[in-house]
Amino acid sequence: MSSRRCSQPVCSRVAVATVTIDYDGRTMALGPLAPAETAEGYHLCNVHARRLTPAYGWRLIRHLELSGDV
């Protein structure tokens, strides 16, 4: 199990997903937790990953199913 924590401020939950952002393409991709820390991705806990929504004009591609457990 990973010991990485959620990238959201003041959240201490364990990260379960990584979101990467393509600013030029206005696309966010949410997938399984990256195997290592990366400068290009943000790591999110289950709660924040499930709540993630794209900004107006952006799209979000989900590459994993998240449980409803929090």
- Domain spans of the chain, in order of start: 17-62
What pLDDT is attached to residue 64? Answer: 79
Distances (CA, A) of 61 to 9, 10, 12, 29: 23, 26, 25, 5
Separation between Cα atoms, residue 19 and residue 45, nearest integer Å: 11
Could you tell me which residues come within 8 angstroms of residue 21 by beta carbon, excluding any fewer than 6 positions away?
A: 27, 28, 29, 40, 42
The answer to whether residue 54 scores a pLDDT higher than 70 is yes
Predicted confidence (pLDDT) per residue in 14-45, tens digit: 999 999 999 999 999 999 999 888 778 899 99
Pinpoint the alpha helices (H) of 1-70: 46-51
Neighbours of 63 (CB within 10 A): 10
What pLDDT is attached to residue 70? Answer: 43
Residue 13 carries which side chain, given as an amino acid letter? R
